[in-house]
């Protein structure tokens, strides 16, 4: 069997030849890639020459190319197009890959070379970018246990390996519950759903071969329309309960014991590295710096968020009572009655805007925005095949030259985990020659029947812009070294380019391009006026469900080592402590909180979406102050210091260079329509 990973890819842009890649190729590809990387690292660590930036740091940056190639393809397939065989490979390889990286970060000879360079850094004559890369490498190794004793390094490696296994099991369990739970629905049970949601429910019933006209799964794209529009309260309740109980059903997919072990092991890591808590360890290398600063921001927004949510709750209960409902508002009722309240208060029904939010046109609008801001253009590439028939590709050009390739994978399907994310098959770099990025945006919108357009909700359209903001962060990267390329930044900065990009969805020149999918007519001015008036109609709910999850994340990761971990108890105690309104549910309950338990990326870091919102709200006000959402001077600074810079400079400095000052929390409060508060104390803001 010829393994495509062992040959050069003679494809446009050198993209992965997905039609030739089979599951059976991954295990041998990993084995060869890991062995090759081991040899490269051993040669660097054992180099008899005195350490230099080129023979140590640059050499490390150039090493592991086959491993990077295999890993980037595998990780996306395991998330977006998996199957039982691929999941078996994932379970097998998770500890092996973790062990490999442990061996690198805990290599004493290698760290001695890096440490010597770091101590001599001021005399090496490095340019600013190279100095930054050296600093990050040294910090990476220190935070990965390089300064621990021999016994401590062994235990640290053991923990990291085990955590890799647990994270894989956690994610697979959530997907398992989502795939196994499906509800057959009758015509009466989908009463109230808009036409596109009904069509998606019918398509799901056909795909699952159910003897019913409609169906719902527990993926968010299937659940949300039912919670918003289904008139059958019983249907809303059973779908909501299944959705919030993913990973907490007492079956083989139950994640609560996994959570306990993950949190316990993370606390032990923190103790080994000299931190009181895992949150203190994780936040030391962020803009926030401390758990207290992150928690302070969350709690500052909590009070006005809860106040608004409670006001809305009372108004929703009045709607229930006025309709003779005879019941107390429950979490599965909130979205349904919030839609009614929005119509009553603002004469706005979100289904009115959906005909103007055809997926194709929203994507084109995101491309148009990039062109206006950064001079980027996108050309469809039907000759480039993806890993699934739904995946499409575009080449990306700027200043008369190709700068990368963009894949879009927009529809939900079995074997694809919930949510939306950006990843890459190749990152931009210039070390050893120009390397163009290959970026992927993945979403989970309902796929319409053949020949019908995919119509998005306003929130889904924002998701397109959000993930495309991440995509631009990768595509526009213009650095030399892989370590600081694109989205290789601290967690509470990486969401800035994505959240900031969402603002352009409602810029008048962009809205003008979103025409009716049947008539081609622009959005009527009256509808736009009502849309903007209704923008903050449910802000209290949205703020509370997010903040509660962020505070829950901090509750897990600020626990000192040795405390018993019971996910149900910690969750209930946290919600009681913060005064969570009973009618609002966590956006991510513990057993399916993929952000913090399916990997380490957002652990003790879910707050970063709000931290970045302070930055993005304040940052977009720079364009408003200029009087033009596409002001050239402001866009130029945004490109230079944010989108193209990767992790090449201190992030607080980068923001000041873009904005001309430190960020102000006022933009966030104004954007969410919350009560204005006093500015954060110095050092507690961003």
Residues annotated catalytic, as ranges: 467
Strand partners, 411: 445
Which residues have CB under 8 Å from 598's CB, separation 6+? 167, 168, 170, 171, 174
Cβ–Cβ under 8 Å, residues 527 and 533: no
DSSP 492-518: HHHTHHHHHHHGGGGSHHHHTT---TT
Question: In angstroms, how far is CA 100 from the centroid of its own chain?
Answer: 26
Pairing relation of β-strands 421-426 and 401-411?
unpaired
For residues 540 and 309, what is the distance between their CA atoms, to the nearest angstrom? 4
**Tokens 């409609």 sit at which residue?**
214
Cβ–Cβ under 8 Å, residues 338 and 647: no
From 131, 129, 112, 113, select the one nearest 121 (Cα to Cα): 131
Cβ–Cβ under 8 Å, residues 311 and 318: no
For residues 388 and 533, what is the distance between their CA atoms, to the nearest angstrom? 40
Cβ-based burial of 167 (10 A; exposed 0-12, middle 13-18, buried ≥19):
buried
Residue 580: both structure tokens together: 């969570």
- Cα–Cα distances in angstroms (integers) from residue 555 to residues 328, 362, 570, 574, in the given order: 30, 38, 7, 7
Residue 312: both structure tokens together: 């809305």
CB atoms within 10 A of CB 39: 11
b (16+ CB within 10 A) / e for 134-164: bebbbeebbbbbbebeeeebeebbebbbbbb
Pairing relation of β-strands 182-185 and 392-398?
unpaired
From 629, 612, 595, 600, select the one nearest 665 (Cα to Cα): 612
**Tokens 């390094």 sit at which residue?**
153
DSSP 93-107: HHHHHHHHHHHHHT-
For residues 178 and 161, what is the distance between their CA atoms, to the nearest angstrom? 27
- Cα–Cα distances in angstroms (integers) from residue 290 to residues 287, 300, 605, in the given order: 9, 16, 11
Which residues have CB under 8 Å from 87's CB, separation 6+? 78, 172
Cβ–Cβ under 8 Å, residues 221 and 444: yes
**Tokens 């930044």 sit at which residue?**
489
């Amino acid at each position: 069997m010829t393994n495509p990973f062992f040959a050069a890819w003679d494809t446009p842009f050198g993209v992965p030849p997905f039609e030739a890649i089979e599951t059976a190729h991954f295990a041998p590809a990993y084995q060869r890639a890991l062995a090759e990387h081991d040899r490269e690292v051993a040669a660097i660590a054992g180099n008899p020459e005195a350490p230099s930036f080129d023979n140590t740091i640059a050499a490390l940056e150039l090493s592991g190319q086959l491993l990077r190639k295999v890993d980037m393809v595998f990780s996306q397939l395991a998330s977006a197009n998996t199957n039982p065989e691929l999941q078996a490979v994932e379970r097998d390889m998770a500890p092996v890959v973790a062990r490999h990286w442990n061996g690198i970060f805990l290599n004493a000879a290698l760290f001695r070379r890096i440490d010597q360079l770091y101590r001599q850094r001021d005399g090496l004559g490095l340019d600013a970018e190279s100095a930054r890369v050296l600093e990050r490498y040294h910090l990476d190794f220190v935070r990965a246990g390089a300064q621990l004793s021999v016994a401590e390094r062994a235990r640290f490696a053991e923990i990291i390996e085990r955590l890799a296994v647990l994270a894989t099991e956690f994610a697979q369990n959530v997907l398992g519950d989502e795939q196994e739970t499906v509800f057959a629905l009758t015509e009466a049970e989908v009463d109230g759903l808009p036409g596109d949601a009904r069509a998606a429910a019918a398509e799901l019933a056909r795909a699952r071969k159910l003897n019913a006209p409609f169906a719902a799964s527990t993926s968010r794209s299937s659940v949300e329309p039912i919670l918003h529009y289904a008139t059958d309260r019983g249907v809303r309740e059973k779908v909501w309960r299944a959705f919030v109980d993913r990973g907490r059903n007492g079956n083989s997919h139950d994640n609560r014991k996994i959570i306990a072990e993950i949190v316990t092991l993370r606390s032990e890591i923190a103790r080994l590295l000299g931190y009181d808590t895992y949150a203190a360890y994780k936040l030391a290398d962020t803009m926030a710096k401390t758990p207290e600063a992150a928690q302070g921001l969350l709690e500052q927004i909590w009070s006005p968020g809860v106040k608004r949510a409670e006001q809305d709750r009372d108004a929703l209960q009045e709607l229930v009572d006025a309709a003779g409902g005879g019941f107390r508002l429950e979490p599965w009722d909130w979205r349904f009655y919030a839609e009614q309240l929005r119509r009553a208060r603002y004469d706005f029904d979100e289904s009115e805007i959906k005909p103007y939010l055809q997926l194709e046109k929203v994507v084109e609008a995101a491309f148009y925005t990039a062109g206006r801001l950064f001079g980027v253009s996108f050309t469809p590439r039907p000759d480039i095949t993806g890993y699934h028939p739904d995946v499409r590709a575009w080449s990306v050009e700027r200043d008369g030259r190709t700068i990368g390739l963009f894949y879009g994978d927009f529809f939900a399907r079995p074997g694809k985990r919930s949510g939306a994310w950006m990843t890459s098959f190749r990152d931009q770099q210039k070390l050893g020659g120009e390397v163009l990025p290959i970026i992927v945006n993945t979403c989970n919108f309902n796929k319409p029947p053949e020949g019908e357009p995919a119509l998005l909700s306003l929130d889904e359209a924002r998701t397109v812009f959000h993930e495309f903001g991440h995509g631009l962060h990768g595509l526009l990267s213009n650095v030399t070294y892989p370590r600081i390329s694109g989205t290789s930044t601290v967690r509470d900065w990486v969401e800035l380019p994505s959240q900031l990009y969402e603002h352009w969805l409602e810029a008048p020149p962009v809205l003008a391009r979103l025409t009716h999918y049947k008539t081609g007519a622009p959005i009527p001015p009256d509808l736009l006026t009502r849309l903007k008036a209704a923008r903050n109609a449910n802000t209290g709910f949205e703020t509370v469900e997010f903040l509660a999850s962020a505070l829950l994340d901090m509750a897990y990761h600020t626990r000192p080592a040795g405390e018993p971990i019971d996910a149900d108890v910690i969750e209930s105690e946290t919600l009681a402590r913060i005064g969570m309104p009973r009618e609002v549910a966590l956006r991510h309950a513990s057993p399916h909180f993929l952000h913090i338990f399916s990997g380490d990326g957002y652990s003790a870091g879910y707050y970063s979406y709000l931290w970045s919102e302070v930055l993005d709200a304040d940052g977009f006000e720079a364009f408003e102050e200029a009087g033009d959402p596409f002001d050239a001077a402001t866009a130029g600074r945004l490109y230079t210091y944010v989108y193209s810079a990767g992790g090449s400079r201190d992030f607080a400095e980068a923001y000041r260079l873009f904005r001309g000052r430190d960020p102000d929390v006022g933009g966030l409060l104004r954007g969410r329509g919350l009560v204005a508060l006093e500015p954060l104390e110095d050092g507690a803001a961003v």
